[in-house]
Amino acid sequence: MSELHPQMRAILAFMAAKPLPSLDRLTPAAARALDAEHFDVFWNADAPQLPSVADHPLPGADATIFLRLYDPGVPKPAPCLVYLHGGGWVLGGLGSHDRICRELALAGDVLVASIDYRLAPEHKFPQPLLDCVAATRWIASQGRSLGIDERQLAIGGDSAGGNLALSTLLAFRDADAQALRAGVLVYGMFAADPDSQSQRQFGDGRYLLSTADTEWFWRCYLNGEAERKDPRAVPLQADLHGLPPLYIAAAELDPLLDDSLRLVERLQAAGQPHEFRLWPGLTHASFHMTRMLEPMQRYMEEIGLFLRGVLARKLS
């Protein structure tokens, strides 16, 4: 294990100066309010400007939801990354990952469609996943109306959004749909295992995300313990054959590190195309922190290069 990156150490000290109650002592509504006030506002400040950022309604599983389309000024129809935000299926929304989506659009020279799927525990599994699948299907069939080239779609997400992105890829595979050409999975919640080595090593609360937090998220999301074995909720339980190329990134000092390492092992055993990047000295949530974390600026560019590569070839 490497040491904390000096800038990461400074960020942790900065955040520790304003400690917040642990999530398991809060209601979901209170947790969302604190997260928006103390995390989202700061990390989304001074985000890069784009020529166009606009919200659009689209069908969720059984109700209208919204996507926010980030356009870096690319010629239309353009490749698009469907993005599913993190937040443990409980926190976050179109505003929480605004900076990430803007930077991905610029780095990848792609449209980014951020999906405002409904949140747990008001909407437990499988509702958030069904919203994501329905929204992605709409983009794959109707995206041209928004300037999206439906033949050049990727999907991505971080943390719980990484879980939803992988499960959406699996849903498209099982439906024999070929619309999604790649996936970007950033420190995803894939395993639902509170006793993994990385949970034991990094889950005590020193590194922003704790095992208590991840277990609170799972309890909010799932309807019961039996669903920890449902491959739609916990994609490491699934057969991983037949997926498009994946870019997988993991923070070294993250309770969820083993989720990504196990995923990579499973993909290797299945002979599935993938790239894996370990972010040394960084913690969970570092994807938000380009304004103070120089290594994350480079990693964002790497993801952009991956997207440019997998979405560059025009299909006839």
Note down pLDDT in tens along the chain; length 316 residues: 679 999 999 999 999 988 888 898 999 999 999 999 989 999 999 999 999 999 999 999 999 999 999 999 999 999 999 999 999 999 999 999 999 999 999 999 999 999 999 999 999 999 999 999 999 999 999 999 999 999 999 999 999 999 999 999 999 999 988 899 999 999 999 999 999 999 999 999 999 999 999 999 999 999 999 999 999 999 999 999 999 999 999 999 999 999 999 999 999 999 999 999 999 999 999 999 999 999 999 999 999 999 999 997 554 3
Tokens representing residue 113 in the block = 């469609």
Which one is catalytic: 5, 85, 274, 284? 284
CA atoms of 164 and 118, how far apart (whole Å)? 12
Q: How far apart are CA 128 and CA 67, in angstroms?
A: 14
Beta strands in the chain (DSSP E): 52-59, 64-71, 78-84, 111-115, 148-158, 180-186, 246-253, 274-283
Q: β-strand 246-253 against 148-158: which pairing, if any?
A: unpaired
* Helix, strand, or coil (residue 223): coil
pLDDT at 253: 98
Phi and psi for 258 in degrees, rounded to 5? -65, -25
Query: Is residue 204 flagged as an active site residue?
Result: no
CB atoms within 10 A of CB 268: 11
Is 274 catalytic? The answer is: no
Amino acid type, 19: P
A 10 A CB-CB count for 82 gives 28
CB 188 within 8 A of CB 84: no
Pairwise CA distance, residues 88 & 34, whole Å: 15
> Residue 159 catalytic?
yes
- In terms of Cβ atoms closer than 10 Å to its own Cβ (0-12, 13-18, 19+), residue 97 is buried
Domains and their CATH numbers in the chain: 6-245+252-310 (3.40.50.1820)
Q: What is the number of alpha carbons within 13 Å of residue 128 lying toward its C-beta?
A: 34
Q: Of 40, 98, 254, 259, which residue is the catalytic one? A: 254
Cα–Cα distance measured from residue 65 to residue 63, given in angstroms and rounded to the nearest whole number: 6
Q: Which of 96, 114, 159, 198 is catalytic?
A: 159
Phi-psi category of 110—alpha, beta or left, where left has phi over 0 and alpha has psi -120 to 50? beta
Non-local CB neighbours of 234 within 8 Å, separated by 6+ positions: 163, 190, 191, 192, 227, 228
Task: Specify the pLDDT at position 20.
Answer: 82
pLDDT confidence of residue 1 = 65
First-to-last C-alpha distance (Å) of the chain: 47
pLDDT at res. 315: 42
Element (H, E) at 232: none
Would you state the pLDDT for residue 178?
84
